[in-house]
Amino acid sequence: MSDKFNFQKGHRQKFTKVKTAKGRKASSTKWLQRQLNDPYTLLAKKESYRSRAAYKLLEIDKKFKFIKDAKVILDLGCAPGGWLQICQKINPNAHIIGVDIQKMAAIENSCFIQGDFLSIDIQEQIIMLLNNDKKNNILKIDLIISDISPPTCGHSNTDHLRLVNVVENIIMFNNKYLNTHGNFLCKVFLGAEIDILITKLRSLFRKVKLFKPDASRKESKEQYLICLDYKKPDNEC
């Protein structure tokens, strides 16, 4: 990881300029140029990670340390697989399940379900993979991580509310299948409902923190909610 720390301390790299091509929008040219010059993208390619997002999870786990001891991990919005790679690398003995709407090439020692997590059918498939035939019960999940981001429309409050809706659906799933003392990580966009969401999560977890890793682009509105040490909801026995 020495290259990472080099460019974070001002290490200069050769800038690649992309020429405008016929039929390509200016926004597409700008995106391509940013990708070609992004140090995390370059490092991900060098270290064989499927996405630059792998470094977000690496940084978060370095600070909060929740991957190593998780026996069952659920990764929502997992494609193209960068977070799955990190989980498998840090905790190769874990039972790891990934879910995403998009197709994804298999990753060793993990299960993949293609589909929308919000669909009951997909949640039932997850539960089937958690079915422990030897004990005839459903395994609880020790760690749920979500990098899900619904398609953005450019209206910040709408994008924020759409993502809050996803997180609230994951919370309902957590309340059934997350192990006591388990952990939860999810992407959020800051907005009007964030304080209400944090208050709700603090009623369910003993520690809740907002965190933006260095690997998140400065202009990105994303942050991550790290929720540690799950307890039963107040209305449960």
**Residue 219: what are its φ and ψ, rounded to 5°?**
-80, -10
Cβ atoms of 180 and 206 within 8 Å: the answer is no
With 0-12 / 13-18 / 19 or more C-beta atoms within 10 angstroms meaning exposed / middle / buried, residue 236 is exposed
Looking at 22, 62, 187, 200, which residue is catalytic? 187
Q: How many residues does the chain have?
A: 237
DSSP conformational letter for 165: H
How open is the CA angle 226-84-160, to the nearest 5 degrees? 45
Radius of gyration of the chain (CA): 19
Helices and strands: H and E segment counts in the chain: 8, 9
Catalytic-residue membership of 207: no
Our CA dihedral for 113, 116, 120, 121, rounded to 10 degrees, sits at -40
Report the distance separating Cα 128 and Cα 122, nearest Å.
10
- What is the β-pairing status of strands 222-230 and 178-189? antiparallel
The residues that are catalytic are 187
